[in-house]
């Protein structure tokens, strides 16, 4: 069946924006009185509604039926947002950590005192697989209500073969048609668990031997792997060796980089990682390195808000020529808010990002961070993932700082 959706006040395909560097709002292609033709979950054509309506017969296949779907004409239609960095598969709460941070304790101090990631590891290990799947799905649906149609979800709260695989299975169970598409990433190299009893190097060896083969066998297409490069986790040298071994096994790579100390972004670029995420501690050298690479710089404003630290130097990264994506980092410790659109709007205010740069960071550039070329834009062949916002001016969406929610979010629309 061929479906024509429209007309809408404005349709922004976001299909012709540059991959690197700054973007002005004048570079946005805005189709007034726009429409979109869709078949079997894929975009067939995008354009002015009247033109699509008149030329629909040229797109119809033999014996194919046609239907028109008319939303509220005072709508802005955008590609579905992509949250390319989350940790939403977890159990438990870290409200105690949040209170301690607000009272003056640092993230690293709390971790050394028994809080932090290890606290969530214990709660997640205790949770049944079905409970984890339910919690993950609930959070994913909440993200979708803000226009997110693809969510990357990390493991990393299992930290042994049994519980890492439990997390992966829970993510798969939560990946349901009525929610956003979930993209799993193995973050077994989050930290060394307390009960391991060996060195960080020995732990990474164990992952390569006992965990990664299972993950590779379970995630058949484009398995993804992440590592936390930081004082409390893994050194750049250890991380680079681990990442190269994983790459030789067929994993796509991403890195938790430069959150508190620099060093991780250099590793990410050297191993050809798809993205380097966090970057709050990145300085001029790290910015220049990322700008010369195809590694996507992923800003995580939710972590800055949760920890009370400075934002990723997004403006400097863009001006240097980097690819900037924006993600929520939704996790129980440092970024519990989980509202991607609110966070992106706040980041834009502090870092002076254009609306075009923010929209690209939530769509086309976020897709690059996941190695996906079939979403984040509306063009023939792309997934029919899009949202309809209740306004006739796209600028209103960021202006309301996340409080304007879509009136409708459609993933792989087909009927």
- Give the pLDDT of residue 237: 98
- Give the pLDDT of residue 148: 98
- Give the pLDDT of residue 139: 98
Per residue in 357-373, pLDDT (tens digit) is 999 999 999 999 999 99
Per residue in 126-184, pLDDT (tens digit) is 999 999 999 999 999 999 999 999 999 999 999 999 999 999 999 999 999 999 999 99
Mean pLDDT score, 225-248: 97
- Give the pLDDT of residue 183: 98
Percent of the chain whose predicted confidence (pLDDT) is above 70? 100
Mean pLDDT score, 262-279: 98
- Give the pLDDT of residue 61: 94
CA–CA distance, 144 with 240 (Å, rounded to integer): 35
Are residues 56 and 66 in contact, defined by beta-carbon separation less than 8 angstroms?
A: yes
**Full strand arrangement of the beta sheet holding 296-299:** 81-83, 148-154, 181-189, 224-227, 252-257, 275-278, 296-299, 324-326
The residues, any chain, with a CB within 8 Å of residue 292's CB and separated by 6 or more, are 321
CA–CA distance, 291 with 380 (Å, rounded to integer): 30
Whole-model pTM?
Answer: 0.97
Mean pLDDT score, 308-337: 97
Residue 108 has pLDDT above 80, yes or no: no
Provide the CB-side half-sphere exposure for 352 (13 A, CA).
4
Query: How sure is the predictor about 106, in pLDDT bands with cuts at 50, 70 and 90?
Result: confident
Residue 114 has pLDDT above 80, yes or no: no
Query: How sure is the predictor about 4, in pLDDT bands with cuts at 50, 70 and 90?
Result: very high
- Give the pLDDT of residue 232: 86
CA–CA distance, 76 with 88 (Å, rounded to integer): 29
Q: Which of these ranges, 5-19, 47-61, 98-112, 325-339, has the smallest mean pLDDT?
A: 98-112
Residue 81 has pLDDT above 90, yes or no: yes
Per residue in 378-408, pLDDT (tens digit) is 999 999 999 999 999 999 999 999 999 999 9
Neighbour-count burial of 41, counting CB atoms closer than 10 A to its CB (0-12 exposed, 13-18 middle, 19+ buried): middle
Distances (CA, A) of 210 to 165, 203, 238, 240, 271: 11, 10, 18, 19, 22
């Amino acid at each position: 069946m061929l479906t024509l959706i429209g007309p809408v006040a404005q349709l922004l395909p976001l299909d012709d924006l540059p991959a690197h560097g700054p973007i002005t709002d004048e570079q946005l292609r805005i189709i007034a009185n726009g429409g979109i033709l869709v078949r079997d979950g894929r975009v067939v054509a995008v354009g002015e509604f009247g033109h699509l309506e008149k030329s629909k017969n040229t797109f119809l296949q033999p014996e194919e039926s046609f239907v028109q779907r008319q939303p509220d004409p005072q709508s802005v239609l955008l590609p579905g947002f992509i949250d390319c960095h989350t940790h939403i598969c977890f159990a438990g709460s870290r409200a105690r950590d949040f209170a301690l941070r607000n009272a003056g304790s640092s993230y690293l101090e709390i971790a050394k005192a028994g809080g932090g990631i290890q606290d969530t590891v214990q709660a997640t290990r205790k949770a049944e697989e079905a409970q984890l799947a339910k919690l993950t799905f609930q959070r994913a649906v909440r993200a979708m209500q803000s226009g997110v149609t693809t969510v990357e979800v990390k493991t990393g709260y299992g930290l042994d073969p049994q519980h890492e695989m439990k997390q992966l299975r829970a993510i798969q169970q939560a990946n349901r048609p009525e929610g956003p598409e979930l993209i799993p990433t193995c973050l077994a190299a989050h930290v060394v668990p307390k009960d391991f009893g060996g060195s960080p190097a020995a732990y990474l060896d164990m992952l390569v031997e006992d965990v990664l083969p299972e993950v590779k066998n379970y995630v058949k297409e484009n398995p993804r792997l992440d590592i936390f490069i930081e004082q409390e986790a893994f050194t750049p040298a250890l991380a680079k060796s681990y990442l190269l071994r994983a790459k030789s096994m067929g994993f796509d790579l991403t890195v938790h980089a430069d959150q508190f100390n620099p060093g991780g972004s250099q590793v990410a670029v050297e191993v050809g990682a798809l993205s380097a995420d966090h970057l709050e501690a990145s300085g001029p050298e790290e910015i220049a390195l990322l700008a010369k690479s195809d590694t996507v710089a992923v800003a995580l404003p939710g972590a800055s808000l949760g920890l009370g630290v400075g934002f990723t130097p997004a403006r400097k990264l863009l001006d240097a020529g980097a690819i900037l994506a924006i993600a929520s980092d939704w996790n129980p410790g440092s970024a519990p808010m989980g509202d991607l659109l609110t966070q992106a709007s706040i980041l834009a205010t502090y870092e002076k990002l254009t609306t075009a740069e923010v929209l690209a960071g939530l769509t086309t550039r976020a897709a690059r961070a996941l190695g996906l070329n079939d979403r984040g834009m509306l063009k023939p062949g792309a997934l029919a993932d899009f949202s309809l916002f209740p306004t006739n001016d796209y600028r209103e969406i960021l202006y309301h700082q996340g409080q304007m929610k879509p009136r409708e979010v459609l993933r792989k629309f087909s009927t």
